[in-house]
Amino acid sequence: MSSLETFRTQTRAWLEANCPASLRGPAAAGELVWGGSRIEFDNEDQRLWFERMRDRNWFCPAWPEAYGGGGLAPEEVAVLEQELKRLRCRPPQINLGIWMLGPVLLEYGTEEQKQRLLTPMTRGEVRWCQGFSEPNAGSDLANIRTTARDQGDHFVVDGSKIWTSYGDQSDWMYALVRTDNSGSKQAGISLLVLDMHAEGVQARPIDLISGKSSFCEVFFDSVKVSKDNLIGPLNGGWTLAKKLLQHERSAMSKFGEFSLPTHFDLMAILRDYLPVAKTASEVVLEARAQACALDEQAYNLTVQRMGEAARAGQDVGGIASIMKLVHTEQEKTKFEILVDAMGHRALGWDGDEFSSQELAISKAWLMSYTQTIAGGSSEVQLNVIAKRVLQLPDASKGGAK
Amino acid sequence: MSLIYNEEQRMLLDTAQEFFAERSPVSALRALRDGGNAQGFETALWNEMTELGWTAIPFPESLGGLEFGYKGMGAVFEAAGRQLSASPLLSSIVLCGSILEQGGSEAQQNEWLSALIAGSKRLALAVDEGARHNPEQISLSATRTDNGFELNGDKVMVVDGLGSDGWIVAARTLESPASATVKASATGKEGISLFIVPAGTQGVCVTRQSLIDSRNTARLSLKQVELAPDCLIGELDQGKALLDAALDRGRVCIAAELQGACEQLFQTTLDYLRTRVQFDAPIGSFQALQHRAAWAFVELELARSSLMAALHAIDSNDEQAPQLVSLAKWKVGQMADRISNEAVQMHGGIGVTDELDVGLYFKRIRVLQALLGDSDYHLSRAAPTVDAA
């Protein structure tokens, strides 16, 4: 038996013995564990699974043992992932630090930073959040204004971040800050990590049109950050940010893999709200719903095709670029149709007058508007397709004046 | 499920693309049109396709086929679509060949199927009667006589119907339409039968329907056409299932041809966006056009996935095949409308001239869109309804 097969046998046996049965299969909303200083477990199984994976150093199986990683070879990591998938094990914790900042730190961090920042990640002790967007830097991310002023042995950070998921519950943030104003917008940005418990940091949850949300606004008022928290070169943050955002896509897909989709069956719900005798406009409404259902099927087939093409070693950059755009726009269309069909039954806010499904649809409908904005708006996605995939010329280079 | 071409299928796609680009580029279609060629394709090209074995692709080895499946057929249709190459592959092989393969008697297979695969004869399928495709409403009648059957009625949109060696005609064989409806609901069979009508049969009149795509499309008028009993394919009144299976094979190949034509047309449009300069800038640098082009690309990818799922479903005898075929014909059709409209609009004035090939693509795409069911037809066939329990 090859050593890899031995590893597979041992891994399978260990997972069978150690992953609690209740944690196999997708999780409903709120059922996933977020690592960090304020970690909370809903039940004993969650705690056991967290601790067992932590003690096996498998939170970060591919990272070097020196920083608390598993030290596994790439082919062993692949085997571990296959076996986790085979048993449908949920991730023992969700941690943006591991999924997004970690890979960048491994590549660009100093030895001291790796020791200090990576090790607690591999223990699940620190919860990380991302500080990129600002009120004036959404789609135009390079427009950030939060400054880090050089004060000799430390920086002083002033400004604010917005759309920081779980900013109020996180321990540390990796943030893009402005460290130079003299050159191009991109050239004066640095990547800094900072302690969310430090003096002068304040995080405030944002209420959305759909109600409470996990998004926060974070304010920095003369926050002292020691210089060893600068990641990579001064003013070299833009390159690192692009690297981080590449990891965001795979992190989000991991997250999605383990979450139960909140699925509303369009045609089944319409059945309850459209009367049998059909007016011309109801026929049109049904046709819109049918087209929407078929488009969803075409999207699901495209997800499947992308997976097959990737496994066959084909370039899937083109297909990948459409996925977020298509999915979020389809969801929005679907809820619009539902709301049109349900009339005022989809306009309830709370109380007993409306069924729980009706209220859930209202919330999900309102939430669907955030999806075509967050994580790169639809317009940004279209720009990316036009420029990177279709290779259409750039307006700024000899383009429109 | 496999939604990508495997190595062999990819090789066939490459071969077919090279073949059509060299032997039958768009200029060949233009020459056929300008020469007023009613046959709508070049016999020499058809012979070469036959020699390459493409007419044998979908059939089992026992019937002289290659058993290469509809993924293989899809690859050839895609490649033909890219160059608007004309051939009777759809009419004679996919539509009539499927019916003979699945429902023909041994004698019919010996007489016709081998000849179709060899390219020495060709058949055309006559289904449509009204303005829009609707195989559920066939009224051309076939009644029993002492010597066999008598057929009366008209067929339209008969693809490659001019100059063919015969036609397969879908006819109603139940006595009255009223009882047909009753029986249909009771048994699920719709009183449809399929007949081979050899060319030269008395009472058959075939005339050209000259369409915008300059292909071979015919109207078939049958007046007191006498047919021998052995012209019936399969069992009396039981032809609908046979017909539907063949139509689905035809639809998926049409979708493949559309996908190929649209991918080529989209490339041409992108090239134009990159090179055409107005207001001192390539027009492709304008965001209004970039976003429209990006949406067109999105549609191409979604259509491609639907097409591959349908080809796979046919090859694996999936019971979901009719739904997936209609999904493909719907989605590819929607995409094709968008791509062809944008291609003309983005090319501007030159886009509406006959000099540019864009117009030829536009016209062929619109005919393919309507053929064997447009987007409306296939939306109804593929989508769940509110009424369904």
A382 interfaces chain B, CB cutoff of 8 Å: yes
pLDDT of residue A255: 60
Write the CB contacts of B301 (distance below 8 Å, at least 6 apart in sequence): A302, A318, A319, A322
- CB burial of A271-310 (b: ≥16 within 10 Å; e: otherwise) equals bebbeeeeeeebeebbebbbbbbbbbbbbebbebbbeebe
Is residue B1 domain-resident?
no
pLDDT at A111 > cutoff 70: yes
Q: Would you say residue A286 has pLDDT above 50? A: yes
pLDDT of res. A2: 84
Of B45, B387, B366, B88, whose CA–CA distance to B211 is shortest? B366
Same domain? For A133 and A218 the reply is yes
Does residue A399 sit within a domain? Answer: no
Pairing, β A230-231 against β A154-165: unpaired
Of A374 and A392, the one with more pLDDT: A392
**How high is the mean pLDDT of chain A?**
91
Average pLDDT over residues A392-399: 71
Helix (H, G, I), strand (E, B) or coil at B97: helix
A76 and A147 co-located in one domain = no
Distances (CA, A) of A122 to A82, A106, A117, A236, B293: 21, 13, 9, 26, 45
Question: Do A272 and A230 share a structural domain?
Answer: no
Contact between chains at A270 and B386 (C-beta distance less than 8 A): yes
Residue A251 confidence (pLDDT): 67
- pLDDT tens profile A300-319: 999 999 989 988 999 998 99
Asked whether residue B278 is domain-assigned, the answer is: yes
CA–CA dist B362, B370 (Å, integer): 13
pLDDT tens sequence across A142-163:
999 999 999 999 999 999 999 9
Least confident segment among A46-60, A259-273, B211-225, B346-360: A259-273
Same domain, B95 and B202: no
In a domain, B277, yes or no: yes
Indicate whether A122 belongs to any domain. no
* Domain region containing A361: 262-389
**Best to test chain A binding among B7, B273, B386, B387 (most A CBs inside 10 Å):** B386
Chain B residues bordering chain A (beta-carbon distance below 8 Å): 1-4, 270, 273-274, 279-282, 284-287, 289-291, 293-295, 297-298, 301-306, 308-309, 327, 330-331, 379-380, 382-388
CA distance A128 to chain B (A): 34
CATH of the domain at B198: 2.40.110.10
Per-residue pLDDT tens listing for chain B (389 residues): 799 999 999 999 999 999 999 999 999 999 999 999 999 999 999 999 999 999 999 999 999 999 999 999 999 999 999 999 999 999 999 999 999 999 999 999 999 999 999 999 999 999 999 999 999 999 999 999 999 999 999 999 999 999 999 999 999 997 544 554 544 444 445 799 999 999 999 999 999 999 999 999 999 999 999 999 999 999 999 999 999 999 999 999 999 999 999 999 999 999 999 999 999 999 999 999 999 999 999 999 999 999 999 999 999 999 999 999 999 999 999 999 999 999 999 999 999 999 999 999 999 999 999 999 999 999 999 998 877 64
Of A270, A298, A390, the CB nearest to B293: A390
Res. A398: pLDDT tops 60: no
Say what the pLDDT of residue B176 is. 47
Cβ-nearest to B386 among A286, A302, A312: A286
Q: Cβ(A292)–Cβ(A337) under 8 Å? A: yes
Residue A236 DSSP SS3:
coil
Report strand pairing: A189-195 vs A230-231: antiparallel
Tell me the C-alpha distance between A129 and A249, whole Å.
16
Contacting residues of A for B331, CB less than 8 Å apart? 294-295, 298
Quick check: ipTM above 0.90? yes
| B180/B201 Cα distance (integer angstroms) | 28
pTM value is 0.88
Kindly state whether residue B2 falls inside one of the protein's structural domains: no
Interface test with B, best of A140, A265, A284, A302 (most B CBs within 10 A): A302
Q: Give the other-Cβ count within 10 Å of A360's Cβ.
A: 13
Looking at the 3D structure of chain B, how many domains does it have? 3
Residues A138 and A89 in one domain: no
Angle, CA of A365, A367 and A372, to the nearest 5°:
100
Give the domain-ending residue among B122, B150, B178: B122
Q: How far apart are CA A145 and CA A131, in angstroms?
A: 12
Quick one: B130 and B98 in the same domain? Answer: no
Band (A401; pLDDT cuts 50, 70, 90) = very low
Q: Are residues A274 and A312 in the same domain?
A: yes
Residues B73, B84 within the same domain: yes
B276 and B310 share a domain?
yes
